[in-house]
Amino acid sequence: MQLTIKQLQIIEAIVQTGNYSLAAERLHMTQPAVSMQIKQLEHKIELSLFERQGKKISLSNAGEIIYQHSQQVLANYDVLIEIINEAKDLHTGRIKVAAATTANHLITQMIANFSSINKDIKVSLKITNRERLVQQLQNFEPDIVLMGEPPPKLDLISEPLIANPLVVIANPEHPLAQKSKIPLKTIAKHEFIVREEGSGTRAAIETFFQNKGTELKSTLEMGSNEAIKHAVSAGLGLGIVSLHSLKLELESNKLVILDVNGLPIQRYWHIVKRKGKRLLPAVKQFQDFMIKESSAYEESYHQFL
């Protein structure tokens, strides 16, 4: 029995795009050609790879097993191609980065600075939630992930990159905006706009307040820091967000940081990789660049604390 790299790439593209047409577009193939490849492979292995319910396509049990193992094969294939290109002195770097929504400002700035001096290296970026990041890591999809504390007991390698302080923000006209050394219990009496259930930021905030023997009053849930900032700016309540997402709002005086005893909540962004995934030269170069630049980036925000 023989499976080709192209067939594995087709399976991967279908899973990641959700349908045959988009998979064909990604792989520069026709949709009938993609369908034919899958049919031939299913006939060869005598197993169905996908289950179809109307327009929805999902992996079968057998397909799930094959897909999970194929990710390591494709990761190794990418390494091999990179090694061959290096040997031929035709190195063209490609980096797949994924990041948590709260790290959007940091990672986009890092990529912009890196790309300005490494124009021959292509960087792709996906911003998503914590749950999806973990799935991507398990499937060997990104080269590097930037996120908060990764979940324990997974086959991951993690190292802290930069401090990610969480601060309380308010509309400049809020009654507490001009106060100093505000007690935590005073803050807890006010209404807060928070992230959705399952958010790593929300979990960190709730844990912090529980450890202090109090809890927040939340009236609104938002799916992103940007939505929280807009709601707080509109006077709908207080919020707790990453300091690194506030530069424009603080400079334009649309938001202020409250001086609260015991805050900010100190968290860290981590560089996370799947254990066993070899770093290609371009990826290693980008990782080293992030580590080198992180101190200057972090320093630029100290003025706001």
More confident residue, 154 or 294: 294
Q: Are residues 136 and 203 in the same domain?
A: no
User: Which residues sit opposite 220 in a β-bridge?
Assistant: 193
Residue 141 resides in a domain: yes
How do 94-100 and 144-147 pair as beta strands?
Answer: parallel
Q: Are residues 144 and 12 in the same domain?
A: no
* Per-residue pLDDT tens over the stretch 114-138: 999 888 888 999 998 888 888 888 8
Average pLDDT over residues 179-194: 90
Average pLDDT over residues 12-34: 90
- Identity of residue 107: I
Checking if the pLDDT of 156 tops 90, the result is no
C-beta of residue 143 within 8 angstroms of C-beta of residue 283: yes
* Per-residue pLDDT tens over the stretch 189-212: 888 998 887 777 888 888 888 888
* Per-residue pLDDT tens over the stretch 59-101: 989 888 888 888 888 888 887 877 776 655 444 578 899 998 8
**Six-digit token string for 272:** 């996370």
Q: How many domains does the chain have?
A: 3
Q: Give percent of the chain with pLDDT exceeding 70.
A: 96
Q: Are residues 192 and 244 in the same domain?
A: yes
DSSP state of 151: P
Question: Sign (positive/negative) of CA torsion 72, 5, 93, 28?
Answer: negative
Residue 81 resides in a domain: no
Residue with tokens 């949709």: 31
End-to-end CA distance of the chain: 62
**Six-digit token string for 47:** 């197993």
Burial 255-281 (b: 16+ CB within 10 A, else e): bbbbbbeebbbebebbbbbbeebeebe
Residue span of the structural domain in which 38 resides: 5-69
> What does the alpha-carbon distance between residue 102 and residue 147 come to, in Å, rounded to a whole number?
8
Residue 76 resides in a domain: no
Residue 74 resides in a domain: no
- Show contacts of 250-255: CB within 8 Å, 24+ apart: 250/304, 253/172, 254/172, 255/169, 255/170, 255/171, 255/172, 255/229
**Six-digit token string for 38:** 């899958």
Q: Are residues 233 and 277 in the same domain?
A: no
pLDDT for residue 305: 63
Q: Are residues 101 and 153 in the same domain?
A: yes
pLDDT for residue 89: 43
